[in-house]
Chain A
Amino acid sequence: MGKIVVHGRVKVRTTAEQEEIKKVERAKKVAEYKAGMNLVFQKRRDKIYDDELLLVTERIVVKNPDIYTLWNIRREAFNANDWSNEEREIRMKKDLSLTECCLRENPKSYYVWHHRCWVIERLSEPDWETELALCAKCLNYDERNFHCWEYRLFVVQKAGISDEEEFNFSTTKILNNFSNYSSWHYRSKVLSKMFPDNTGALPIRSDKHKEELDLVMNATFTDPNDSSAWFYQRWLLDSHKSINNPIWRAQLTSTAATVVFHKDVAINSLNLNILVDGTNIPLNWESHDNAKFAKVWSTPPNEIFINLNDDMDGETFTCKINIESQEKHNLNQLQEQLESYQQLIQMEPHNKWALLTGIFLMRNINDSKYHKNILENFTALKTIDKLRSNYYEDLRSKYLIDYVLHNTWLQEDKTNEVTSLDMSNYNLTLLCNEHYLSFYSEVNLCGNNLGNSLHRLHSLQRCKKLSLSCNGIKSLEQFPTLFSLKVLLLRYNELSSVDEILELVKRHRLITLDIRENLVCMVNGIVQAISEVSPDTTVLTD
């Protein structure tokens, strides 16, 4: 064994030495980066889109794929240069490998995916198979990369990949790991496309709906704390009533016409007409706040004068949907699932998702039958998940409003009368579906907590008597102008501003205004102030 060791002794680099090497490297990189960026911007100012510019942007972008300006400059260069088709194609392909390289560094860069999209769309013969393989690889590496899921959707459409293949792909991904919003979302898209439900009652065809409900239930029982599965289930269970006739009801008087739709629509004088005795009456439709899409469309007040027979005046033309005839799908399955979830709630009483799903299932099965249980679940949710108690309150309000409306409509079907609506004492925290309140002349909302929903009352344009007593209202600033309003009850609230009251009275021609049991009553001369503004109004104060 040689002992004359002078050179070539092996040693291990210390961490300090490695740090030193890194430091030098880093400093070098910085210098390169700065020089590069200066050059690029100078060239852009001078509009010199030459090879050097491309080379330098490429170098920087490989290390910093998120500097989107550089990608913009590259695209500018592609547009500015007068290359032959052949050369353009070659350069485009190089940019494909460039983006691929960048994606390795950062698979979640918006700008890189976008650039790739831009390039591949401009190729004469894009290789979609390669793109698909890239997606598969990338999703293998990180199955939650939604950028890649989006890109895949784009590629699949271009490549003409069958929906079935994509459906299977999503199944594989979900089986591998179901904690993945992206793959569930992707699945919902593919399924809606493959198996649309013609009845409009379900998001997808009934048999597939059943399979999906089963699949997702397995996920929720395997890990009830994973929200992605619950969200997919929510999509399956949410009511998807796409009614063929978008109009809910319409009302026509000699001076006004109002049409209420189930969904937000855009309306103009061309696509919505009123025929009186076969004559088309030209109308200017307006929505609240001139929204482009709205559910309630009316003619401006006192703009039209239609000669109607006396007995027709005030007639409500109603396009009613027969609520009862709505088919219930997969009832047995829903019932079984409900039982399983009730068992789960017993095993894990603090499982909010199970309670919530229980509500959705009960609503899907029969909300009248389970009305009490649904409210119980809401109460339980509020106590076990205090952080989201406001959310549950609002959800409960939404449910209750639907429930009351539903029952009112059933009643109306029998009596054919649309005059008053009673939603008092439900502790509603949120007013929603307010467009369905458009035609009632008497609306009782007393005993709720709608102080924050006043702006939503704008649809009550036909309402003559409105009760908002006992709603914890602090301010009337958001109160809309209701043209028909004559009687407004605001008892037992927390109103304190005289100005707000006066402003409200100014906008309306009220006969009665009840503001008893409000702080504002303590203000001296309040009654006098009101009567100065509106002498005809009877004001009730303490």
Chain B
Amino acid sequence: MRNIRRPIRFRTKDNMANRGTAQRPNGQTQGKICQFKLVLLGESAVGKSSLVLRFVKGQFHEYQESTIGAAFLTQTVCLDDTTVKFEIWDTAGQERYHSLAPMYYRGAQAAIVVYDITNQDTFVRATTWVKELQRQASPNIVIALAGNKADLANKRVVECDEAQAYADENGLLFMETSAKTAMNVNDIFLAIAKKLPKNEQAGNGGSSGQGRRLAEAEGQKATAGNCCK
């Protein structure tokens, strides 16, 4: 990442406490926390939400209702000296009629493009999403391709080699996953976590490192600087 511009940022007491050293259960204080925005892309019904729910809640439901009310979910992965906190954004169904808003990708440092190994169309569509990301998203975004529903191997139509070759060509991480059996679910997030840059500039609490987010606490804190007090 070359020369990222960093604006002034107020830090609420909360996220001041959250950043940096966190505590492990074994009591050792440890290195920094990096927060990243990760977006999910892919056709409807390829299992995007299921992957997230498996990863975040450890659950799987055959008839998963769409994730109403969830702007995004969070989950943490620990690497050697860093805690990577994912802010995982789901499409909220906006992809259904090809109406995903560009703001969805803004500031995303990672993306998982999901297809269904039992449906060729979803794979073709996945490649268009990858192109879309390469066109619209941040140039440094880490993209992973997930061939989901790997538990339905008997209905497979997209060959693993084919997808792997495509991923290699485009510099993507690739895994076949199953939200149902949990196969490779944690692994794909872990692989992304490892690939993300973890310097100060990258992922710091609550913002893509470009602008500032607004929060209640900030406003209260800053009144001291007000012109007339």
Does a CB–CB distance below 8 Å link A and B in the complex?
yes
* A interface residues with partner B (beta carbon < 8 Å): 2, 4-12, 55-56, 58-59, 62, 94, 97-98, 100-101, 104-105, 141, 177, 179, 223, 225
The CA of A8 and the CA of B47, in the complex, are separated in Å by 14
The residues of A that contact B21 with a CB separation of less than 8 Å are 97, 100-101, 104
The CA of A9 and the CA of B225, in the complex, are separated in Å by 46
Query: Contact at B16–A58, with CB atoms within 8 Å?
Result: no
- Decide: A8 near B29, CB < 8 A? Known: A101-B20, A179-B224: no
The residues of B that contact A101 with a CB separation of less than 8 Å are 20-21, 23, 29
Number of interface residues of B (CB under 8 A): 22
Query: Contact at A58–B29, with CB atoms within 8 Å?
Result: yes
**Any A CB within 8 A of the CB of B65:** yes
**Any A CB within 8 A of the CB of B4:** no
Query: Contact at B69–A8, with CB atoms within 8 Å?
Result: no
The CA of A8 and the CA of B59, in the complex, are separated in Å by 8
**Any A CB within 8 A of the CB of B103:** no
Q: B11, B65, B229 — which one has the most chain A CB atoms within 10 A of its CB?
A: B65
Query: Contact at B63–A5, with CB atoms within 8 Å?
Result: yes
The B interface is mostly helix, strand or loop, or mixed, namely loop
Query: Contact at A104–B65, with CB atoms within 8 Å?
Result: no
The residues of B that contact A7 with a CB separation of less than 8 Å are 59, 61, 63
One digit per residue, 1 when the CB lies within 8 angstroms of any chain A CB and 0 when it does not, for chain B 62-79 equals 011101111000000000
Query: Contact at B61–A104, with CB atoms within 8 Å?
Result: no
**Any A CB within 8 A of the CB of B173:** no
The residues of B that contact A55 with a CB separation of less than 8 Å are 27
Give me 20 A-to-B residue pairs in the complex whose CB atoms sit less than 8 angstroms apart, sorted by A's number.
A2-B65, A4-B63, A5-B65, A6-B61, A8-B59, A8-B65, A10-B69, A10-B70, A11-B69, A55-B27, A58-B27, A58-B29, A62-B29, A97-B21, A98-B29, A100-B21, A104-B16, A104-B19, A104-B20, A225-B229
The residues of B that contact A94 with a CB separation of less than 8 Å are 29
Q: Which of A2, A58, A141, A177 contacts B11 (CB 8 A)?
A: A141
- Decide: A6 near B17, CB < 8 A? Known: A62-B23, A177-B225: no
**Any A CB within 8 A of the CB of B53:** yes
- Decide: A177 near B224, CB < 8 A? Known: A8-B63, A104-B17: yes
**Chain B residue, CB-CB nearest to A62:** B23
The CA of A6 and the CA of B67, in the complex, are separated in Å by 14
The CA of A223 and the CA of B70, in the complex, are separated in Å by 47
**Chain A residue, CB-CB nearest to B53:** A8
Q: Which of B20, B64, B68, B224 contacts A100 (CB 8 A)?
A: B20
Sort A-B residue pairs by CB-CB distance and give the 7 closest, nearest first.
Answer: A8-B61, A101-B21, A7-B61, A2-B63, A8-B64, A55-B27, A59-B27
Query: Contact at A6–B69, with CB atoms within 8 Å?
Result: no
18 additional A-B residue pairs with CB within 8 Å, beyond A2-B63, A10-B70, A177-B224? A4-B63, A5-B65, A6-B63, A8-B61, A9-B65, A12-B69, A59-B23, A94-B29, A97-B29, A98-B29, A100-B20, A101-B20, A101-B21, A104-B21, A105-B17, A177-B225, A179-B224, A225-B229
- Output the least CB separation between A402 and chain B (Å): 36
The residues of B that contact A6 with a CB separation of less than 8 Å are 61, 63
The CA of A12 and the CA of B73, in the complex, are separated in Å by 13
